[in-house]
């Protein structure tokens, strides 16, 4: 039995690695996606284009503007003089926001009456607008404190002092890149296993395999092994890049991470083989894999928090192995989690893997024509 | 009229590039005479389809020129396509349209005037005998009927030149005869010129002229009679009392003075080497009662003689170990009231037969007769709808894995791993059949040496020449020395030499005690079987030895009917009974 599984796995590897196209699928897309996600996918905003409509021109106004100028988040691209200029700038997406400083702003401040500022935001992308607003708030808050200090006043009665744990700079790379470990290994493993049986069906070699004394369980395991091995290699590569290139700290236990990875791949292989057992052609297999992948990524909490989803959808996320693995990989990277803390993530993946492999085995025997 | 309908001058065409460059046509120059039927004969991969497609301007040639009805195929493809009728191997029938709707569609596409249509349709339906089925969906027609409808669609507007690409492949003998009648009627009535490709050598004799194509080169162009004439005095038929034709054929094939030996009915047909005059008394000294008669040469004799490469004369037949006599009694294969339904469609209708130990058992029939479905049920690849099968005492679908280790299986399509090398394929399949260590090594070497695959050991299986692919598939099926061997259409599309090689090997297996079940749509191959069933539309038409089945068709007019005659007689007999 063991010998059989090994012979099958060797054959699978050879078939995969001797074909230049499938070799490319294993190497090309992961590297490309890692670069694209690593650099492009970020929740942070930098160099937001801003226009300043300064109707005051006094010292305090200049002080505020210079603070905006000094922030890495903003870039002032225009100083405007009249109201009519505001709309064209926002409409044509020249700027994301316009800061309007009221006439006699410095005067009012000097008299201790408080000055007013108007912020006009391009709300077409609400997410970006919110972020820009928050950055601007921080600058204004800071400016207020400065004024208080200068004038010797006691300032606002309560001072909020913030400290973010685990990701001290609130750098969104730290959140996204560990997630990519799960995302990319899922894509590659799923596609490799989904294609494995479908390819043989399409080329007629599956019949040849079924008439040999190999047991369906042996075929199943022989076909799972390459998916697991390739997944581990792929994931290790991304982990190394995340640590060395993107400089994300790995704070927890590597063993806990790899235990999670193995269970995650186990469930991914099971689902891939299930898709493969249903498909007759490779095209159907790829389609099936993506029909699973897209909701799996959205429901996993990769980008949007699961807690914000409607309750019924939240229940659905329990079927998604990526959901559990993301908790593990982020936990180990940023929080320094160990085995005990992650136990509740391990066992659901093991169950998903067992059930899907059993289903794939059943489908093997019952879908033969 | 005297100008040729088609002229090819030094045509070259190859596909792919670099190492995988495949030369399909290598300097082909031919002419097709007007108002006649020219046959393009050659095995699969000879370049027949490429040539046809070039003539229609569907492919660009690398060099040379083609003149179709006075038009240049490369320069004026649209005009050429309007002037010629082309029926590809798989004609583009719309399976969800009825026979009539298909005809209307092609009439519209060809721009046949509405007023001319009723008369033309009536004539076509009469010729194809499809008149009773005009409202049936094309997808529900039998293989032969589909082919006839395809031809009718190509003929809606009679073209001056008709190109037919393997119109008769896999078609039952009755429909084949009808297709030929239609072609000849068109030539006589319309003065049409026809270029027809085929892999069936017996069809060559029905052509006015024959072009022999092999590996992209023209081996000769002449009337079939001229080809045969060269062989006068070299073709003989041999019979021996008390010796089965198969044994006799094996003996004769080993004789140094004999180039070719095939089974033909109850006799063996041989071609003697140039300058060797066989004598009944001395040909095989060990065989008693040998009779030798000169026979009229056929086109196939000339074809084999031309094709046979002296270097390849040593045909790869590995040594086969004799099976230990079985402990168990009973037939290795038993089939009882086997039935398979796909929805409403009954693919196999309650058939029963049994195969004895060491027999070569044939399952004959046209495409769509239910052979492959039966075959897959026997191998456990398809569940039965009802009935019972037993292979080596088991139903392979439910039996333990070990039972499958006793059978060998070779699928119709090449089904080994194309991007693994020959050696890797053999290693994998030997491991799958539980061979290991020195025994595994020994069997791999046996396969590489015996099938002359050693020089290809590190070549990807997918890039092997067709004949070698088949050897490899055969070798993989024999690695574990099975006692029962299943072969699905092993000779479909292979050239006559490879077919001879295949049957020599299969004979050797049967002599060693292996039970062989083989399907084929070549009627003449029935004579290699010990027993056979003929299937049509999912039912068994006849069962028996080839001799018994042929005897059923014996009439005073035709005292020595061929298997094809017998098939036609059986089908017609059933139709009159129904």
SS3 B334: strand
At B400, the pLDDT band (50, 70, 90 cuts) reads low
pLDDT tens column, B412-450: 878 889 889 999 999 999 999 888 889 999 999 999 988
State the first-to-last Cα distance of chain A, in angstroms, to the nearest integer.
Answer: 26
**Among A319-333, B88-102, B164-178, B191-205, which range has the highest average pLDDT?**
A319-333
Q: List the single best residue of A196, A199, A207, A369 to mutate versus B (max B Cβ within 10 A).
A: A207
Partner residue opposite B424 with nearest CB, options A14, A203, A204: A14
Residues of B in contact with A195 (CB under 8 A): none
Token pair 């903003």 is at which residue? A74
Report the C-alpha gap between B226 and B229 in whole angstroms: 5
pLDDT tens column, B546-557: 888 888 888 888
Q: List the single best residue of B431, B479, B492, B517 to mutate versus A (max A Cβ within 10 A).
A: B431
Report, as an integer, the average pLDDT of B103-123: 89
As given in the structure block, the two tokens for residue A331 are 């936990």
What is the model's pLDDT at position B194? 92
pLDDT surpasses 90 at A17: no
A212–B contact, CB cutoff 8 A? yes
B429/A213 Cβ within 8 A: no
A215/B401 Cβ within 8 A: yes
What is the model's pLDDT at position A169? 65
A213/B404 Cβ within 8 A: yes
Which chain A residue shows the shortest CA-CA distance from B378?
A: A211
A208/B416 Cβ within 8 A: yes
Q: From edge to edge, which strands make up the β-sheet containing B333-342?
A: B345-355, B333-342, B386-391
B383/A368 Cβ within 8 A: yes
Which chain A residue shows the shortest CA-CA distance from B427?
A: A7
**Other CB atoms within 10 A of residue B142 CB:** 18
Of all residues in chain B, what percent are helix, strand and coil, respectively (each to 5)? 35, 25, 40
Report, as an integer, the average pLDDT of B158-166: 89
Name the burial class of residue B4, with classes exposed (0-12), middle (13-18) and buried (19+) by CB atoms within 10 angstroms of its CB: middle
Q: List the single best residue of A211, A220, A226, A369 to mutate versus B (max B Cβ within 10 A).
A: A211
What is the model's pLDDT at position B1? 46
Between A170 and A241, whose confidence is greater? A241
Which chain A residue shows the shortest CA-CA distance from B485?
A: A211
Least confident span in A151-155, A309-313, B77-81, B268-272 = A151-155
As given in the structure block, the two tokens for residue A221 are 């395991």
Report the C-alpha gap between B485 and B505 in whole angstroms: 12
Partner residue opposite B401 with nearest CB, options A208, A214, A369: A214
SS3 B279: coil
Nearest to A186 by CA among A288, A269, A302: A269
Phi, psi of B256 (to 5 degrees): -65, -25
B381/A7 Cβ within 8 A: no
Q: List the single best residue of B343, B417, B485 to mutate versus A (max A Cβ within 10 A).
A: B417
* B positions 423-462 inside 8 Å of A (CB): 424, 427-429, 431-434, 436, 460
B11 forms bridges with which residues in the sheet? B28
Report, as an integer, the average pLDDT of B513-532: 88
At A296, the pLDDT band (50, 70, 90 cuts) reads very high
**Domain ranges, ordered by start, for chain A:** 48-165, 172-366
**Among A347-351, B157-161, B501-505, B552-556, which range has the highest average pLDDT?**
A347-351
* Residue pairs between chains A and B whose CB atoms are closer than 8 Å: 81
Report the C-alpha gap between B417 and A8 in whole angstroms: 12
HEC secondary structure over chain A: CHHHHHHHHHHHHHHHHCCHHHHHHHHHHHHHHHHHHHHHCCCCCCCEEEEEEECCCCHHHHHHHHHHHHCCCEEEEEEECCHHHHHHHHHCCCCCEEEEECCCHHHHHHCCCCCCEEEEECCCCHHHHHHHHHHHHHHHHHHHHHHHHHHCCCCCCCCCCCCCCCCCCCCHHHHHHHHHHHHHHHHHHHHHHHHHHHHHHHHCHHHHHHCCCCCHHHHHHHHHHHHHHHHHHHHHHHHHHHHHCCCCCCCCCHHHHHHHHHHHHHHHHHHHHHHHHHCCCHHHHHHHHHHHHHHHHHHCCCCCCHHHCCHHHHHHHHHCHHHHHHHHHHHHHHHCCCHHHHHHHHHHHHHHHHHHHHHHHHHHHHCCC
What is the model's pLDDT at position B313? 45
A204/B414 Cβ within 8 A: yes
A209–B contact, CB cutoff 8 A? yes
At A174, the pLDDT band (50, 70, 90 cuts) reads confident
Residues of B in contact with A14 (CB under 8 A): 417, 419-420, 424
pLDDT tens column, A180-205: 889 989 998 998 899 888 888 888 88
Residues of A in contact with B428 (CB under 8 A): 7-8, 10-11
* B positions 389-418 inside 8 Å of A (CB): 396, 401-405, 407, 409, 411, 413-418
Partner residue opposite A369 with nearest CB, options B379, B382, B416: B382
Which chain A residue shows the shortest CA-CA distance from B413?
A: A204
Partner residue opposite A204 with nearest CB, options B383, B402, B411: B411
B463–A contact, CB cutoff 8 A? no
Residues of B in contact with A3 (CB under 8 A): 431, 434, 436
Report the C-alpha gap between A104 and B261 in whole angstroms: 114
Report, as an integer, the average pLDDT of A206-216: 85
A19/B381 Cβ within 8 A: no
Residues of A in contact with B405 (CB under 8 A): 212-213
A21–B contact, CB cutoff 8 A? no
**Other CB atoms within 10 A of residue B361 CB:** 22
B433/A215 Cβ within 8 A: no
Residues of B in contact with A19 (CB under 8 A): 419
Task: Tell me the nearest-neighbour CA distance from A367 into chain B, angstroms.
Answer: 9
**Other CB atoms within 10 A of residue B381 CB:** 19
What is the model's pLDDT at position B324? 64
pLDDT surpasses 60 at A158: no
CB-hemisphere CA count at 13 Å for A287? 7
Q: What is the DSSP letter of B210?
A: E
Residues of B in contact with A212 (CB under 8 A): 404-405, 429, 432-433
Token pair 């492009």 is at which residue? A40
B432/A368 Cβ within 8 A: no
pLDDT tens column, B442-493: 999 999 988 888 888 888 888 887 778 888 999 999 988 898 999 988 887 6
A209/B433 Cβ within 8 A: no
Report the C-alpha gap between B312 and B315 in whole angstroms: 6
What is the model's pLDDT at position B172? 78
**What burial letters (b/e) apply to B212-231, b meaning 16+ CB within 10 Å?**
bbbbbebbbbeebeebbeeb
Q: Cα-Cα-Cα-Cα dihedral of B259, B263, B264, B269, to 10°?
A: 20
Between B318 and B331, whose confidence is greater? B331
The mean pLDDT value of chain B amounts to 84
pLDDT surpasses 50 at B35: yes
pTM of the model: 0.77
SS3 B182: helix
A3–B contact, CB cutoff 8 A? yes
At B19, the pLDDT band (50, 70, 90 cuts) reads low
**Among A86-90, A263-267, B187-191, B449-453, which range has the highest average pLDDT?**
A263-267
Fold type of domain A48-165: abc type-2 transporter like fold (3.40.1710)
A8/B432 Cβ within 8 A: yes
Partner residue opposite B415 with nearest CB, options A7, A14, A207: A207
B432/A209 Cβ within 8 A: yes
A213 forms bridges with which residues in the sheet? none
The mean pLDDT value of chain A amounts to 85
Residues of A in contact with B418 (CB under 8 A): 203
Helix (H) or strand (E) holding B352, with range, is: strand B345-355
Contact in structure between B189 and B21 (CB atoms under 8 Å): no
User: To 10 degrees, what angle do helices B117-128 and B173-190 make?
Assistant: 140
Contact in structure between A82 and A116 (CB atoms under 8 Å): no
């Amino acid at each position: 039995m063991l010998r059989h599984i090994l012979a099958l796995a060797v054959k699978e590897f050879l078939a995969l690695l001797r074909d230049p196209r499938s070799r490319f699928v294993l190497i090309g897309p992961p590297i490309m996606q890692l670069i694209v996600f690593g650099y492009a996918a970020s929740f942070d905003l930098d160099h937001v284009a801003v226009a300043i409509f300064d109707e005051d021109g006094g010292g305090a106004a200049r002080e505020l503007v210079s603070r905006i100028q000094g922030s890495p988040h903003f870039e002032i691209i225009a100083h405007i003089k009249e109201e009519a200029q505001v709309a064209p700038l926002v409409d044509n997406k020249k700027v994301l926001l316009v800061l309007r400083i009221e006439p006699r702003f410095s005067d009012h401040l000097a008299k201790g009456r408080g000055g007013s500022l108007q912020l006009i935001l391009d709300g077409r992308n609400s997410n970006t607008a919110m972020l820009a607003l928050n950055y601007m708030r921080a600058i204004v808050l800071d400016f207020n404190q400065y004024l208080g200090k200068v004038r010797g006043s006691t300032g606002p009665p309560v001072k909020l002092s913030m400290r973010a744990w685990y990701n001290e700079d609130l750098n969104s790379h730290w959140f996204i890149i560990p997630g990519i470990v799960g995302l990319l290994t899922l894509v590659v493993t799923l596609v490799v296993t989904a294609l494995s049986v479908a390819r043989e069906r399409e080329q007629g070699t599956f019949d040849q395999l079924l008439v040999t004394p190999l047991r369906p369980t042996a075929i199943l395991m022989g076909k799972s092994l390459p998916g697991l091995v390739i997944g581990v290699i792929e994931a290790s590569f991304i982990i190394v890049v995340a640590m060395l290139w993107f400089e994300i700290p790995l704070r927890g236990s590597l063993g806990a991470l790899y235990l999670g990875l193995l269970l995650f791949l186990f469930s991914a292989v099971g689902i891939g083989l299930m898709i493969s057992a249903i498909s007759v052609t490779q095209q159907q297999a790829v389609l099936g894999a993506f029909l699973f992948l897209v909701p799996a990524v959205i429901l996993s909490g990769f980008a949007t928090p699961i807690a914000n989803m409607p309750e019924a959808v939240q229940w659905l996320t329990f079927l998604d192995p990526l959901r559990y693995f993301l908790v593990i990989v982020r936990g180990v990277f940023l929080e320094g989690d160990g085995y005990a803390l992650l136990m509740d993530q391990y066992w659901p993946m093991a169950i998903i893997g067992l059930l899907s492999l059993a289903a794939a085995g059943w489908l093997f025997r019952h879908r033969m024509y | 009229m005297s100008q040729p309908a088609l002229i090819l001058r030094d045509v070259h065409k190859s596909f792919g590039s670099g190492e995988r460059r495949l030369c399909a046509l290598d300097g082909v120059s031919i002419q097709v005479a007007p108002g006649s039927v020219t046959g393009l004969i050659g095995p699969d991969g000879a370049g027949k389809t490429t040539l046809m497609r070039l003539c229609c301007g569907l492919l660009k040639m690398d060099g040379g020129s083609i003149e179709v009805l006075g038009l240049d195929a490369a320069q004026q493809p649209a005009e050429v396509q309007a002037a010629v009728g082309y029926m590809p191997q798989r004609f583009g029938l719309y399976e969800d349209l009825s026979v009539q709707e298909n005809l209307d569609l092609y009439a519209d596409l060809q721009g046949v005037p509405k007023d001319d249509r009723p008369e033309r349709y009536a004539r076509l339906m009469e010729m194809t005998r499809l008149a009773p089925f005009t409202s049936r969906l094309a997808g529900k027609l039998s293989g032969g009927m589909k082919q006839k409808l395809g031809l009718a669609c190509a003929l809606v507007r009679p073209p001056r030149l008709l190109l037919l690409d393997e119109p008769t492949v896999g078609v039952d003998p009755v429909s084949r005869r009808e297709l030929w009648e239609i072609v000849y009627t068109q030539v006589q009535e319309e003065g049409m010129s026809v270029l027809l490709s085929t892999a069936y050598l017996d069809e060559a004799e029905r052509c006015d002229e024959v072009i022999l194509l092999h590996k992209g080169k023209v081996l000769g162009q002449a009337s079939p009679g001229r080809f045969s004439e060269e062989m006068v005095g070299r073709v003989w038929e041999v019979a021996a009392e008390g010796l089965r034709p198969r044994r006799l054929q094996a003996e004769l094939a080993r004789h140094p003075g004999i180039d070719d030996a095939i089974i033909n009915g109850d006799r063996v047909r041989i071609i003697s080497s140039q300058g060797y005059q066989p004598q009944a008394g001395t040909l095989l000294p060990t065989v008693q009662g040998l009779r030798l008669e000169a026979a009229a040469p056929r086109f196939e004799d000339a074809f084999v003689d031309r094709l046979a490469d002296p270097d390849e004369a040593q045909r790869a037949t590995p040594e086969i170990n004799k099976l230990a006599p079985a402990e168990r009694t009973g037939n290795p294969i038993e089939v009882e009231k086997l039935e398979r339904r796909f929805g409403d469609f009954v693919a196999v209708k309650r058939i029963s037969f049994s195969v004895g130990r060491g027999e070569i058992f044939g399952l004959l029939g046209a495409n769509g007769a239910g052979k492959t479905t039966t075959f897959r049920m026997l191998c456990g690849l398809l569940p039965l709808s009802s009935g019972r099968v037993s292979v080596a005492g088991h139903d392979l679908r439910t039996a333990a894995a070990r039972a499958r280790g006793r059978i060998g299986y070779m699928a119709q399509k090449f089904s080994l791993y194309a991007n693994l090398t020959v050696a890797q394929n053999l290693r994998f399949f030997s491991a799958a059949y539980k061979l290991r260590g020195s025994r595994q090594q020994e069997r791999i070497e046996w396969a590489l040496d015996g099938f002359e695959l050693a020089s290809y050991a590190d070549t990807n299986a997918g890039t092997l020449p067709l004949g070698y692919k088949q050897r490899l598939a055969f070798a993989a099926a024999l690695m574990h020395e099975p006692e029962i061997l299943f072969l699905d259409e092993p000779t479909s599309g292979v050239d006559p030499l490879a077919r001879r090689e295949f049957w020599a090997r299969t004979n050797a297996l049967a002599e060693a005690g292996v039970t062989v079940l083989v399907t084929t749509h070549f009627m003449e191959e029935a004579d290699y079987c010990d027993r056979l069933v003929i299937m049509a539309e999912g039912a068994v038409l006849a069962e028996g030895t080839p001799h018994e089945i042929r005897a059923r068709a014996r009439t005073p007019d035709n005292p020595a009917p061929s298997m094809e005659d017998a098939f036609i007689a059986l089908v017609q007999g059933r139709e009159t009974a129904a």
